[in-house]
Structure 1
Amino acid sequence: MSTLERLAEALGADVMKAMDETGDERLFMEVAGVIGTASQTLEEAFLTDIRVRLAERKARAHLIARVKQHRAAQKKQG
């Protein structure tokens, strides 16, 4: 893993935690703007990391909801 990838991943994890704590779902855009003034390369890597994390979070929530729905239907039948 390159320095760029390590930095983007670490910052992405920290920003996701801060977003959860503050409730600010767009905080990553503010951080990306700060990064972009110094390094467009890091900004792109950071945004990719954030998009992947947000997509995984959304997919996981969907999966959990579907399993709960399935289990509830099974209880009604059984």
Structure 2
Amino acid sequence: MRVIEELADALAKDVLEAQGELGDDRFYEKMSKVLGELSPTTQEAFMTAVRVRLAEKRGRDFLARSLAAKRSGTAAPAAPRGADSGH
């Protein structure tokens, strides 16, 4: 159901933006529990949106650092390796 993904993504965006103000970089986990009590489907859509947004942010950061290194003639940042690198 498309509405679930749209609502969950909008909430994920808002929660990730609010984390800095709240001083809690894992606040999304608390929100996930709140959602899971009423709708596991919404909880999973929310967590998927959170993971996608966090991965995109990390990817953009890596791209920016790689370009900065290239432009300044310094060593490029190392990409993650091993079991912790995702799928």
TM-score, normalized by the shorter chain, greater than 0.5 = yes
- 1:2 deviation in Å? 1.4
Higher relative contact order (CA 8 A, sep 6+): 1
TM-score (norm 1): 0.88
Q: Secondary structure of 1:16's match?
A: helix
Match of 2:64?
64
Partner Cα separation in structure 2 for residue 27 and residue 66 of structure 1:
29
Number of the residue aligned with 1:16: 16
RMSD: 1.5
CA distance in 1, matches of 2:54, 2:25: 10
Identity of aligned residues (%): 41
How far apart in 2 are the matches of 1:23 and 1:51? 19
Aligned partner of 1:49 in structure 2 is: 49
Greater helix percent: which structure?
Answer: 1
- Listed one character per residue, the Cα deviations across residues 32-65 of structure 1 (whole Å, up to 9, x for unaligned) are 0000000000000000000000000011101100
Structure 2 CA distance for aligned equivalents of residues 26 and 7 of structure 1:
20
Moved more, 28-37 or 65-74: 65-74
1:71 deviates by 0.6
Larger Rg: 1
Question: Which aligned runs of 4 or more in structure 1 are off by greater than 3 angstroms?
Answer: none
Once the two structures are TM-superposed, the CA of residue 3 in structure 1 deviates from its matched residue by 1.2
The number of residues matched between the two structures is 74
